[in-house]
Copies of this chain bind each other. A is one copy, B any other.
Amino acid sequence: MSDHPPHAPESEEGASPARWRRGDPRLLARTRILDLQAVPFIHPRRGVARDFVVVAAPDWVNVLAHTVDDRLVLVNQFRFGIDGFSLEIPGGVIEPGEDPVAAGVRELAEETGFVGERARLLARVHPNPAFMANRCHLVLVENCRLTAAPEWDADEEIVVSAPPVAEVFARARAGEITHSLVLDALFFFEPIWRAGASRSAV
C-alpha cells in the first residue's frame, strides 16, 4: 500500500524520524464505505512493535465546476456524519479502475446536470495521513453550463446553486462551508481564479 520503494531513505529530510515497517493488516470491521483495520508496524531501530488503526477507503473525488459566467456550482444536502446540512462542491467515490478526472466529470453531471470543458486535476490530497490511507482528487472543470437534469441516487436530495466565485470564497471564509476537502479545492483554485480575473480586467 506504499508508493515508496522498499529501500527508500528513512526520512525525506535525512534526519532522524524512521520509516516504520508495515505488517499485514487485520480487519476489524468491513462496511459499505470503508474497512477498519489494525495494522502492525515495527520500528526499524528501536524494535518496538505496535498496532495502529487505519481506515481503508476508496479514493474520492471533489469537483470545482467553474461556469461560463464566473460562478461555482455548489450542492447543499443532508449529511449523516454531522446529522445536518452541508454546503459543498459535487463529489463522491471513484469507481475501481475509473480515472479520477472522469469520475469528477461524472459526479458533476449526476449531481447537478452541469457539463464543462478542460476538466483536469487541480491537486491530490490525503483526507488524514494519520489514519486514512486514501486520497481525494480535486478536479477543476471550466466553462460549465447546465445542460441536463441531475440523476440522483435513491437517497440523494440536493439543492444545486451557483453563486459568483467571489461570494463562494467569502461564504467559505465566513464559516458557511465547513467540509475540509471542499475548502482544499478552494485553496488550490484561488490563485488560478485571481490570475484569470486579472487577465480579464486588462
Contact A17 B175 (CB under 8 A): no
- Per-residue 0/1 for A170-182: is the Cβ within 8 Å of any B Cβ (1 yes, 0 no)? 0011010011110
Interface size class of A (residues with CB under 8 A): 35 or more
Contact B28 A29 (CB under 8 A): yes
Give the chain B neighbours of A3 by CB distance below 8 A: 84
- State which of B36, B88, B125, B129 has its C-beta within 8 Å of the C-beta of A31: B36
Give the chain B neighbours of A126 by CB distance below 8 A: 81-82, 86, 178-180
Contact A128 B125 (CB under 8 A): no
Number of copies of chain A assembled together: 2
Give the chain B neighbours of A32 by CB distance below 8 A: 53
Bound form: Cα–Cα A155–B77 in Å? 40
A159-B15 in contact given A78-B20, A127-B127, A128-B127 (Cβ < 8 Å): yes
Bound form: Cα–Cα A39–B180 in Å? 22
Contact B86 A16 (CB under 8 A): no
Bound form: Cα–Cα A78–B18 in Å? 7
Contact A80 B41 (CB under 8 A): yes
Write the residues of chain A forming the contact surface with B, with a CB cutoff of 8 angstroms: 1-4, 11-13, 15-20, 22, 28-29, 31-34, 36, 38-39, 41, 43, 48, 50, 52-55, 76-88, 123-133, 135-136, 155, 157-159, 161, 172-173, 175, 178-181, 183-184, 186-188, 190-191
